[in-house]
Amino acid sequence: MHGYVIESKWHYYEHPWMAETGHYVYEPPGEIHTLAVPDDCDEMVMIFNIAGAMIYLDEAGHRVGYEDVFTKIEMCRAHYEKVGLGGEFVDQFVR
């Protein structure tokens, strides 16, 4: 994952650093972390460029969720349908 903080700040509970406005972040594949935005931030704006799948784990390390490009497209399709744009609206973003 490559990321760029556009506004505000965030951190991972598992690491001692803070990503702030203008910072670039790189995560190697397999990184396990918990993203948190400090209480003094009203919002955080970030661009994440993710290659591959994201696998969500519970506290015991068991898989509880999964996202990849295909599940993201389906989430977008459902959202566009819900807001009245039609599910096919997402097709213009897919090559």
pLDDT digits (tens, 9 = 90+) for 39-53: 999 999 999 998 889
pLDDT digits 0-9 by tens, 38-90: 999 999 999 999 888 999 999 898 999 999 999 999 999 999 999 999 999 99
pLDDT confidence of 22, banded at 50, 70, 90?
Answer: very high
CA distance 29 to 32: 9
**Is the separation of the CB atoms in 32 and 41 below 8 Å?**
no
pLDDT value at residue 52 = 87
